[in-house]
């Protein structure tokens, strides 16, 4: 039996592949490499370059590799871009996800983990957001993911399928052993961008919005280490295998940091005082997103090991150094 990981050559996907393989799983990665990297899973998993929306390809992979479970990461994830190109996001995140579900059900896959987002909550009226919070996304990215959640729930009720939806808050950091990390040069994640600025790969950093209703006027987010998140996926899969029922879980620590606090942490850990420019708000950014994180700990017996902002930042900075070395070798 094998696990199919869509988008497994990307940031979060590659870390989850490493965790699965480390536990002895046979992993097949399906990725179009539009934002992923083949070297991120080289030697760990069998990589198939292709489109997750190709029903015939997905069905063929499921049959050829005796796939019983799917972990679905493949998606577009940049909120401002989703506002500019909404139909691209509905195609990539909703239409192609529907195709994957169709192929999975037709081929007899029994268990599925779906990568979702805290963006489905929109701008909730509470500071800490439990899973029972009403969903009201304010951008096409969040809406495209919520539509996929609805499809999955409806399909599971109609077919022999159990699932876990994992709603990520802000993912950051890199593999502590230096095997993978956020590798896209055009990434928009704050800690990634700030680490690039500290490493001299960017001229500086822009803070978008200083007039939010928060203590320092900048957005507050819950930052979860990517390795802790990857281990949550493995725990979710193990729970389903043990007969667990379908459920939806937040993935975060329950602690929020403002943009300014994160920037100061990166400057402190790196020792670099890079330039920061204050800019107007971007469209689609809620003021505060902090996870209600009790349910994931109870349901998955998940205990984060890397719940520390300075540790997350240090691992992100270490990865920038490794990535710079890799890029230099690639050019040689």
Q: How far is the C-alpha of 106 from the C-alpha of 69, rounded, in Å?
A: 13
- Asked if residue 63 lies in contact with residue 83, where contact means CB atoms within 8 angstroms, the answer is no
Please confirm, yes or no, whether 141 is among the known catalytic residues: yes
Which residue's structure tokens are 């909703």?
Answer: 94
| 2 CB neighbour count, 10 Å cutoff | 18
Are 259 and 282 spatial neighbours (Cβ–Cβ below 8 Å)?
Answer: no
Spatial separation of the C-alpha atoms in residues 218 and 131, rounded to whole Å: 24
Residue of 90, 141, 163, 168 marked active site: 141
CA distance 185 to 107: 37
In angstroms, the CA 16 to CA 30 distance is: 13
CA atoms within 13 A on the CB side of 83: 10
Please tell me whether residue 182 adopts helix, strand or coil conformation. Answer: coil
Q: Which residues are catalytic?
A: 141
């Amino acid at each position: 039996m094998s696990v199919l990981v869509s988008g497994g050559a990307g940031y979060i996907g590659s870390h989850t592949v490493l965790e699965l393989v480390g536990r002895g799983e046979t992993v097949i990665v399906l990725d179009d490499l539009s934002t992923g990297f083949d070297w991120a899973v080289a030697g760990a998993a069998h990589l198939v370059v292709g489109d997750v929306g190709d029903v015939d390809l997905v069905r063929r992979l499921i049959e050829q590799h005796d796939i019983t479970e799917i972990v679905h990461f493949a998606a577009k994830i940049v909120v401002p871009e989703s506002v500019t190109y909404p139909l691209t996001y509905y195609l990539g995140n909703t239409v192609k996800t529907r195709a994957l579900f169709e192929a999975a059900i037709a081929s007899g896959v029994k268990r599925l983990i779906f990568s979702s987002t805290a963006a489905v909550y929109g701008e909730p009226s509470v500071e800490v957001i439990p899973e029972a919070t009403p969903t009201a996304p304010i951008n096409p990215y969040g809406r495209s993911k919520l539509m996929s959640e609805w499809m999955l729930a409806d399909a599971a009720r109609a077919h022999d399928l159990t699932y876990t939806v994992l709603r990520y808050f802000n993912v950051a950091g890199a593999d502590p052993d230096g095997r993978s990390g956020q590798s896209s040069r055009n990434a928009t994640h704050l800690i990634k961008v700030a680490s690039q600025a500290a490493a001299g790969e960017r001229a500086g950093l822009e803070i978008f919005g200083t007039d939010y209703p928060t203590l320092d006027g900048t957005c507050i987010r819950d930052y979860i280490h990517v390795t802790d998140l990857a281990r949550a996926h493995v725990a979710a899969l193990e729970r389903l295998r043990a007969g667990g029922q379908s459920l939806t879980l937040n993935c975060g620590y329950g602690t929020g940091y403002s943009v300014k606090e994160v920037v100061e942490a990166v400057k402190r850990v790196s020792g670099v005082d890079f330039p920061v420019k204050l800019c107007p708000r971007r469209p689609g950014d809620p003021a505060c997103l902090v996870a209600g994180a009790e349910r994931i700990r109870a349901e998955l017996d998940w205990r984060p090991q890397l719940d520390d902002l300075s540790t997350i930042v240090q691992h992100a900075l270490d990865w920038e150094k490794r990535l710079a070395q890799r890029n230099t070798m690639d050019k040689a």
